[in-house]
Structure 1
Amino acid sequence: MPVVESSVILGVDHATAFAVSQTTGETRLRWDPFINEQHLMDGATKPAKGVRTSTQHRLKVLRMISVYVSYNPPSNVGMKMIDGPWFFESFAGGWRFAPEPGGGTRATWRYSFRCRPRWLAPIAERIGRWVLQRDIDRRISGFARGCSDSEVLAAVRASSP
Structure 2
Amino acid sequence: MPVIESSLVVPVPPATAFAVSQTTGATRMRWDPFIRRQHLMDGAIVPGKGVRTLTVHRLGFRMVSEYVSYNPPTNVGMKMLTGSWFFERLGGGWRFGPVEGDPNSTLAVWRYNFACKPAWLAPLAERIGSVILQRDIDRRIAGFARGCSDPIVLAAITQPTDPL
Q: TM-score normalised to the size of structure 2?
A: 0.95
Counterpart Cα distance in 1 of 2:59 and 2:122: 24
DSSP-derived class of the 2:42 partner: coil
1:11 maps onto 2:8 in alignment: no
Counterpart Cα distance in 2 of 1:27 and 1:76: 20
**Counterparts of residues 1-161 of structure 1 (less than 5 Å):** 1-60=1-60, 62-103=61-102, 104-159=105-160
Alpha-carbon distance, 1:159 to partner:
2.3
Percent identity (aligned):
69
Counterpart Cα distance in 2 of 1:12 and 1:80: 27
Alpha-carbon distance, 1:158 to partner:
1.1
Structure 1 unaligned segments of length 5 or more: list them. Answer: none
Summarize deviations over 1:103-161 as a string: whole Å, max 9, x none: 2000000000000001110000000000000000000000000000000000011129x
Question: Alignment length, in residue pairs?
Answer: 159
Alpha-carbon distance, 1:23 to partner:
0.2
Summarize deviations over 1:68-87 as a string: whole Å, max 9, x none: 00000000000000000000
DSSP-derived class of the 1:159 partner: coil
DSSP-derived class of the 1:117 partner: coil
Q: TM-score normalised to the size of structure 1?
A: 0.97
Matched residue type, 2:128: I
Counterpart Cα distance in 1 of 2:59 and 2:124: 24
Counterpart Cα distance in 1 of 2:43 and 2:158: 23
Counterpart Cα distance in 1 of 2:101 and 2:141: 21
Alpha-carbon distance, 1:102 to partner:
2.5
